[in-house]
Amino acid sequence: MPSLTRDEAIARAALLTVDAVEVDLDLDRGPETFGSRTTLRFTCHEPGAATFVDLRPVTLERARLNGRDLEPAVLVDGRLGLADLAADNVLEVDAVMAYGHDGQGLHRSTDPADDEDYVYGHLFLDAAPRVFACVDQPDLKAPYTVRVTTPQHWSVVGNGAARQTSPGVWELATTRPLSTYFVTVCAGPWVSVTGEHDGIPLGLHARRSLEEPLLRHAPHLLEVTATAFDHYHRLFGVRYPFGDYHQVFVPEFNAGAMENPGCVTIRDQYLFRGAATPDQLLEVDNTVVHEMAHMWFGDLVTMRWWDDLWLNESFAEYMAYRTSTEALGAPEAWVEFGIVRKRWGYAADRAPSTHPVAGSPAPDAVSALQNFDGISYAKGASVLRQLIAHIGADAFDAGVRDHLTAHAFGNAGLEDFLGAMARAAGRSLDDWSQAWLRTAGADRLSLGRDGTLARSVPTEHPADRPHTLDVAAFADGREVLRVPVVLDGPSAPVDGVADVPDDALLVPNAGDLTWAEVGLDDVTLDALPAGLADVPDPVARQVLWTALLVGMHRAEVDPRLVVEVFDRAWATEDDPAVLRRVAAAVTVSVVPTFLPPDEAEAALRRVAAAADVLLTRAGTVEGPAGDGLAVVAARVLAASSTDVERLATWSRGDGLPEPLVGDDDFRWLVLRRLSALDALDEGALAGAEEADRSLAGRLAALGVRAVRPTPEAKADAWRSLEEDESLSNYEALEIARGFWATPDPDLVRPYVRRVGDLLARLAPRMGEDALSRVATALFPLTVVEDATLEASAAMLGRTDLPPGVHRALVDEDHVLREALASRHRFG
């Protein structure tokens, strides 16, 4: 079906004003389809003109425009043609719609714990026509009145306050003007916790089988929500405008969360069934305040077209980390930002698919979705930090308030935002925005022992970006230098570098204040194994870890050095985000992709030994900090150990670290490792499935079977992906994530050239967002050889894969090329 183009959207916005939308949904028709009735009232500014609305039904039962019936033939490729419009129009549409099972549209999922069904709407980016007839573009906002019929034991949550008017019939309060992609309905036998803060009704909701973790986490979640409301009210000068504020933890969600006004949907894995490390809890807090920031930036003021989607996400990303630090009292949030979000963004900026933060061409909606990545989030947030350094925090905050007030309940673009910032700063931002927002690529900073801080600019994307940052040096566990620098040219002198000890670690961008890859000098690289652990500043340690991993991807750092530094420095790290993410990078990327296969087993033994050291150390640390260290250590052991006896003991629940006693999710990690070692019998797996009949347990069992290193297991996994049309988005993703795991590339090499055919087979039954994630997981990054590169080139040449899937394959192809370059240089 054609994707709406920007030109079509501009023309339709000039022609129409959408005045009101009424939607009636009948969710009591069984598990596959639902009824949808839409009454759309709109004004046409050129009576007699023609246009179309967006609609993708299973069956169009009736369409009436201004009292006259429309022929079904006017619905072509998801567009319902409307001719001879009046000045004031009423369109009535009755249709049968299909539930989604890919996380898009109105997604329906069955919880195996009790066989109850749950439904939630995820209409981003262009899925609204799968739920109701609409003018599906972000700049035609309208108030919505929604009514829902459900099984009588269900409850309903949505954008407006919900009330039950009769058994199984719910009516939601009419909303303020919303873009179509923000409309949602969440229906099912939810368990709920409610509260109120500053006159705002609050609600938390989850599946019935998650009642215990919901009740356990609810007091903290409500406290975070209340604190963030107070913070944003002070900062923005505009009260939350959307009535009730609900947060619904939903199953099989493709993203982290979605900022539907008044009814945020969040992946329900964030309600941890078992142990959670401090950085995992911080991640949830950060997600909560990120979506809350969108209530103002994105929901109250929305971009006109998808090419400004970055502005929504960059702002919410920056504001979430700022709020976590300033309001929630979590300064370690910026460490997590660097090791998680910025590494994601740097990878996107190195790839051939890189694009400017702003101004990327989005001729249609699907094109915009391809740029919904680490550049739009992490780089954009980092650029906003540089904007603050450029104009000052007071001017930035004043510009935000100006922008929100001027465009409330409407739409705005980049020019509007920069105009507000320029007025607040009292100067033009044209040159700054051209360098930082409209030019792709990341500069690379290096610091010489002579005290010269040098900036290299990507040749493909030249720009003159000024950097406000700091430089530090560390020796013998002490900070021996810290110098603020404004780098507004190719290089700048840094006072004091010549006086530091000869073996000091030199750290450009030590405070992680700017967006730039860091190149470490040879002395620093040589000193990292012995010196990294003693660096007292957690942000600087994160910068060093990130520089080490980025250097490996650029074929400048031997992956063996990464393993060496991990072996000697990781187990003494204190920050849980660094511990967890660095370990994941080593076990998921460094060892299986960058190291030669014959060195992988020895490297994993070193990883497991380091995890054992951390586990021992955790026993000497009291309280939640010690528990967090123990959980990280045990999880890394579960991913890397070859000690089958120990793993089998843990799988039975014996000898576990105290925080993991009774933790079903940890048990599945252990079973997955046993399966990867081909040391798990079918009886033990069946017993685990019987003991954990949850959605998480069902998914974990699929992954456990997929990682087993036997021809039969790989054939079964592939056949399931190829033939089982009932697989949900999460089930397909879990199988794909386990498939390529193997100690012997020969086991999976025959499938390398079959990936493209499989993706093409999946495309008709899986939405582009979900399929792109599956494509990323299905890319054969454990078979690093020229033949895989040839197979990848063939995939990229196909014309039967959606654009988002092609983009995902381009990015994975780039990682394969990085691994090949590394092996050619160091292998």
Q: Which residues form the catalytic set?
A: 291
Mark out the alpha helices in 708-802 (DSSP H runs): 711-723, 729-739, 755-762, 768-778, 786-796
The token duo for 534 is: 């003693």
CA 273 centroid distance within chain: 21
Q: Are 720 and 727 in contact (CB under 8 A)?
A: yes
Angle in degrees, CA 492, 494, 498, rounded to 5: 130
3-class SS of residue 197: strand
The pair of structure tokens assigned to 633 is: 């250590």
DSSP symbols for 583-601? HHHIIIIIIIIIS-GGGHH
53 forms bridges with which residues in the sheet? 80
What is the arrangement of strands in the sheet containing 51-54, beginning at the earlier edge strand?
A: 51-54, 79-82, 75-76
Burial classification of residue 502, based on how many CB atoms lie within 10 Å of its CB (0-12 exposed, 13-18 middle, 19 or more buried): exposed
What is the Cα–Cα distance from 226 to 232, expressed in whole angstroms? 10
Distances (CA, A) of 749 to 135, 678, 713, 761, 824: 47, 19, 14, 20, 20
Asked if the bond preceding 125 is cis, omega within 30° of 0, the reply is yes
Q: How many degrees, rounded to 5, is the angle at CA 340 between CA 332 and CA 123?
A: 110
Q: How far apart are CA 802 and CA 788, in angstroms?
A: 21
Question: Locate tokens 């040096």: which residue?
Answer: 473
Amino acid at 693: R
- Which residues pair with residue 728 across a beta bridge? none
Contacts (Cβ under 8 Å, ≥6 apart) of 459: none
What is the C-alpha to C-alpha distance for residues 663 and 665, in angstroms, rounded to an integer? Answer: 6
8 Å CB contact between 481 and 508: no
Helix, strand, or coil here: 778?
helix
Nearest to 819 by CA among 778, 775, 789, 774: 789
Indicate left, alpha or beta for 119 from its phi (over 0: left) and psi (-120 to 50: alpha): beta
For residue 16, the 8-state DSSP code is E
Rounded CA separation 192/439 (Å): 46
The answer to whether 32 and 99 have CB atoms below 8 angstroms apart is yes
Helix, strand, coil proportions of the chain in percent (round to 5)? 50, 20, 30
Q: Burial, 756: exposed, middle or buried (Cβ in 10 Å; 0-12, 13-18, 19+)?
A: buried
Nearest to 556 by CA among 516, 525, 602: 525
The helix (H) or strand (E) run that includes residue 11 is: helix 6-15
Cβ-contact 40, 91 below 8 angstroms: yes
Please report, for residues 32, 110, 438, the alpha-carbon distance to residue 725 in angstroms, rounded to integers and kept in the order given.
Answer: 14, 16, 43
The CB density around residue 31, as the number of other CB atoms within 10 Å, is 11
CB 241 within 8 A of CB 267: no
Sheet architecture: strand order including 452-456: 491-493, 452-456, 443-447, 516-519
Count of CB atoms situated within 10 Å of the CB of 511: 18
